[in-house]
Amino acid sequence: MRVVHALAEALGMPEPGQAAPDGDAPLARVLREVPPVPAMRRIAARATRIAGREIAEGDTVLLDLAAAQREHPVPLVFGAPPRVCPGRAHALADGLRRRPLTPFARLHHGTEPLLLPNAWDHASAVALAAEGFPAITTTSLGVAAAAGLPDGAAATARATLALARRLGRDSFLFTVDMEGGFGDDPEEVAELARRLWDAGAAGINIEDGRPDGTLAPVESHAAKIAAVKAAVPGLFVNARTDTHWLGREKEGTAARLAVYEQAGADGVFVPGLSDPDGIADLVATALVPLNILYAPTGPTLTALAALGVRRVSLGSLLYRRALAAAVTAATAIRDDRPTDLTAPSYGEVQAWGGEGGADD
């Protein structure tokens, strides 16, 4: 703040929060449109590519902040609200390069976002994989409801592990919704994650929302992430924050994600966020792929791709739609109403079961 005051005094600008000299524009806007440092000169430490141009190691790069702001107005220059420190990209870059780029991780870096449909049992997972989806994930609500248990209450660890073991007998990639890790002790969470990995899971989703509707302290959730990555480096950890899902501490979303990235998260997930501007802001600050939950009333898959989202989940939508379809069909038959009863044959579903005995 002292730097801003000094700049304001030196340039004859008003204090923060006051209007610009013309009495109309606030200081934040003035700083964005006429930044006190309009350009910066940098030397490329390594070869890279910027805006379609190849940059060789040792090249001098002139960053024209004023022109960039006029042509591509984004809140990344002077006058922007508080943001996660951009320097963390350099601090974390080496760690990000060392993370295993598994076949599942590569799916987050394609030309289109990875669309992950959520299965609730073996049959639904096999049916979705048969339609060409490159990977499948699970829905904790579907797994819990099918077992007659509450979702988000750490009640389905055994059911989740049993499903992972069954899915692991097939050839498709899958990731598992772990709720909040089914416990508070980081080492116990890491041990369960290791068992899921051994069962064949390529990744997990772990959330900071708690059963009582509050958010876990950011440090405790980061400790779980760090413990999992230390125990199973190859497991893709998708760190979920429920700031928007629960409507709590939304302004702290980016800061939470930054801590989770630093703890070792391979991806970050913000369910409940559907505002395009909010999504774009997080894409701009995230160092790892951003996952958004698809909402029928929110942006389309094409729109999410344009915003830079790298992974889109369907959550419990398919499970809830399946329940609705079952009830609709049953009531239509009961009431002699016409309805579409197109369905997989008995033989097709039987084939999805594959071979093998009961799970442990």
pLDDT in tens, 340-353: 999 999 999 998 87
Largest Cα–Cα distance of the chain, in whole Å? 81
Average pLDDT over residues 72-96: 50
List all residues 6 or more positions away from 53 whose beta carbon is below 8 Å from its beta carbon.
none
| Tokens, residue 13 | 């600008």
CA 112 from centre of chain: 15
Report the share of the chain in percent with pLDDT over 70.
77
Q: Is the pTM higher than 0.95?
A: no
pLDDT in tens, 218-241: 999 999 999 999 999 999 999 999
Closest C-alpha to 173, from 139, 133, 205, 233: 133
C-alpha 205/C-alpha 220 separation (Å) is: 16
Where do the H-state alpha helices sit in the chain?
2-11, 27-33, 65-71, 88-98, 103-106, 122-130, 140-146, 157-167, 186-199, 218-231, 253-263, 276-285, 301-307, 317-334, 346-352
Rounded (10°) angle between helices 88-98 and 253-263: 40
